[in-house]
Amino acid sequence: MPLPADDLAALTDAALATATADGCTNAELRVERIRSQRVRLRDAAPEGTSDDTEFGMGVRVVVDGAVGFAATVDVSPTEAANMVRSAIETARVTARAGGGRVELAPEPSHGEVTWTSPFEIDPAVVPLFEKVALLEEWSRRLLADDVVSHVTAEVLSVGEETFLADLSGTRATQRRVRLHPQVEALALSEAGFETMRSLAPPVGRGWEYLTGGGGGWDWDGELARMPEYLAEKLRSPSVDAGTYDLVVDPSNLWLTIHESIGHATELDRAVGYEAAYAGTSFATFDQLGTLAYGSPIMHVTGDRNVEHGLATVAIDSEGVAGQSFDLIRGGVLVGYQLDRSIAASMHLGPSNGCAFADSPLHVPIQRMANVSLAPAGDGGTGGDGPTTDELIAGVERGLYIVGDKSWSIDMQRYNFQFTGQRFFKIEGGRLAGQVKDVAYQATTTDFWGAMEAVGGSSTYVLGGAFNCGKGQPGQVAPVSHGCPSVLVRGVRVLNAREEAGR
C-alpha cells in the first residue's frame, strides 16, 4: 500500500479535520503510488527501458459552492493540512469569480474497503533480465522466418496503489495491476513494406498473461501465425473500393466502440465540456431515451466491476462504488457515464462511478468505464449466438477485419474511419485470401444501425487501451471494451492507398 496504516490514518485526520473546521461540505483525500515500467526491444536487442514511480497526495474540497484542488509530493500530516487550506483558498477565489454553484451528487459511506485486482504474478517482482529474455526469445522466433525483416517487442506494466478517505467515512485501499505486451513484425520488399502486430489486448492481469498461466494469452500460437499472415499480406492485392458487408473481429471492434460509443456517452462531453479540446457528442442529453443509436440487437453497458478490466475499481476517485449500468439497450440510448458533479447538475441522482485521476497530483475528472457490447445470449437477447465462422457463412461478398490500426473520428463522435491489421475477402460465405489498404467509413448511427448479428459468448474478447486521453490539462486513463464478432451490412470501404494519393 502507499504507506503503513498508521501513517495513512494520520494524514486522514490532518486533512479531513482541517476540511471540517473550515466549512467544507465535501472533501476527499487521495494518497497514491503509481509505478510504470516499459521494456522495449528491437530485433531482439534492448532498445530502451524506463521505470518510473510517482508518489504523492491530493485533496479536492467543495466550500462556498465551489471546488478547490491541491496536491503535493511532500506526504506528511503537516502538509496534508496545508494542502487542504490551499484547496479551500482556491475554491473561495473561484466562488468570487462567479460561474454558478457546484454540487456533488450524494454518495453514502462505504466504510472500510480493501480491494486488489486479480493476478497471480506481480510484474513488479519479475526481474528485468527475465522480461528482456522473454521478449528476446519471442523476437528471435519471428526473425527466424525469412519474410520478417525487423521486429519490435515491448511490455508496459503498471502497478497502482491508492488510498482514498472522504468526509462521508469511506476509507478505501486499492491496488491495481495491468499489462500491455505488444509485438510487431515488419517485412520489406521491392514494392515497399508491410507490418503485422500481435492481437493480445492490454489487460488487468499479472505476468502470467505472458507466460501461459491462468488466463494467459496463446503467445505460441500467435507468434507462429504472424509470419504467415505477414507474407500473405505482402503479396495480397489492394482492395477495390465499394460497399461491403463486414464481419468485424473483437480485436478491431473494441476501438470502434471506444471512439463512437465510449466517448460519445460521456455526459460531460455531451453537454459541451470537452468542446475546446477533444470535442462534444452527437448523443445530446435531449435525446436520452429516444435516440436510435443502433439496431435492436445492440446492448451496451458501462461497467467498473468486470474482472480484469482496465477501468475496474471497487471505489472511484471521488468515493463512488464501482458498478454496472446500461448505456444502450435495444439500440436506444438509455444512459450516460457520470461523475458526481455532472450527475447533480443534470438531476440524474447518484453518480455511476466514472471519476478518475491519473495521478495524485491531478484532480479527478469524468472518465470512461469499461464500455462493452454484449454478445448474443447476454442482455436479454436469448440463447447463445453464432460463431465467427457462422457470421462469415452468412456473407456473400464482404470482408473479415482483424486487429486495430489507425482511426479518425470527428469532433462530435459521428463521422468515422477505421483501418486494421489484416483483412480477408469473403466470397460465398468463405474466406478467400487477404486484401490490403482497407479503411471502412460510416456515421456512428448508420454503422451500428446496420449491425445485423452479434456473435455468441465464444467470440467475446475484452480489448482496450492504456492511453485514453481527455481533459485540459490532459490526463490518460486505462479502459477495456469487451465485444463479440459482429456482422454489419452495407458499409462503405475505401482504398486507403488511393485516398492518400500513393
- Reduced 3-state DSSP string for 247-273: EECHHHHHHHHHHHHHCCCEHHHHCCC
Q: What is the reported pLDDT for 443?
A: 98
SS3 164: strand
Residues in the chain where the model's pLDDT stays below 50: 379-382
Q: Which of 434, 403, 439 is nearest to 419 (CA)?
A: 439
Cβ distance 180 to 479 under 8 Å?
no
pLDDT value at residue 278:
82
Domains located in the chain, CATH noted: 5-235 (3.30.2290.10), 242-499 (no CATH)
What local confidence, expressed as pLDDT, does residue 381 receive?
Answer: 45
Amino acid 151: pLDDT: 98
- Model pLDDT, residue 502: 64
Q: Count Cβ atoms within 10 A of the Cβ of residue 282 and give its class: 0-12 exposed, 13-18 middle, 19 or more buried.
A: buried
Contact 487, 391 (CB under 8 A): yes
Q: State pLDDT tens for residues 436-479.
A: 999 999 999 999 999 999 999 999 999 999 999 999 889 999 99
Determine if the pTM surpasses 0.75.
Answer: yes
The predicted structure's pLDDT at residue 451 = 98
Which among 194, 213, 195 has a CA at the least distance from the CA of 203? 213
With CA atoms as reference, report the closest residue to 322 among 383, 370, 359: 370
Could you tell me the three cell numbers for 7? Answer: 501513517
Rounded Cα–Cα distance for residues 183 and 352 (Å): 36
